[in-house]
Structure 1
Amino acid sequence: MKNNVMNLPISTIELAISGDKDSIDMIIRQYSMLINTYSTRKVSGTNSYQLDSYMKESIEVELIEAILRFKIRR
Structure 2
Amino acid sequence: MASCTDAGVGAVAWVESGGGPLIAVPEVVLPFWAGADGDELSTDYDRACDVDAFIGLVPVGDTRALVLGDDPGS
> Comparing both structures, which one devotes a greater share of its residues to helix?
1
- Calculate the TM-score normalised by the size of structure 1: 0.24
User: Max radius of gyration: which structure?
Assistant: 1
TM-score, length basis structure 2: 0.24
